[in-house]
């Protein structure tokens, strides 16, 4: 009897994994982010269109339009806390947005504090 239970559990697990794998393929691509020092470069994924020669990408930050151009990338030099926010891009106004959330962190400090011995 316990052998059957294991088979049922395995079969259920396999079916769930197959459904999850199919759902992952249906998810829209997200924008990518490259960070070098204080420069942040976000790139909108390429989404094939009816007219591939005419591609206009619009970038937004917190619902406010930043730029509209034929470039898929948006770069921020000297990134700081003021640039934190939810960014997204669209190739068409009715297209689903591709989101990126960016938040600055305190720089890592490599200093070591040593406690003086009181011997």
Specify the pLDDT at position 60: 95
DSSP per-residue letters across 36-83: ETTEEEEEPPP---SSTT---EEEEETTEEEEEES-SEEEESS--GGG
- 97 inside domain: yes
pTM to 2 decimals? Answer: 0.60
40 is in which domain, residue-wise? 29-102
- 40 inside domain: yes
- Tally of structural domains, the chain: 1
Specify the pLDDT at position 59: 94
- 57 inside domain: yes
In the sheet with 32-36, reading across from the earlier edge strand, the strands are 32-36, 39-43, 73-76
- 16 inside domain: no
pLDDT along the chain (119 residues), means of 10: 42 36 50 88 79 78 93 92 92 79 64 44
- 72 inside domain: yes
């Amino acid at each position: 009897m316990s052998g059957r239970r294991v088979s049922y559990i395995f079969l259920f697990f396999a079916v769930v994994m197959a459904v999850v794998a199919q759902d992952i393929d249906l998810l829209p691509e997200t924008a990518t982010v490259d960070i070098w020092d204080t420069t942040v470069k976000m790139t909108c994924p390429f989404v094939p269109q009816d007219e591939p020669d005419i591609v206009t990408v619009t970038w937004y930050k917190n619902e406010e339009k930043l730029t509209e151009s034929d470039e898929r990338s948006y770069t921020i030099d000297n990134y700081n806390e003021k640039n934190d926010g939810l960014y997204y891009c669209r190739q068409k106004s009715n297209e689903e947005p591709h989101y990126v959330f960016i938040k600055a962190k305190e720089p890592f400090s490599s200093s070591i504090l040593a406690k003086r011995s009181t011997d």
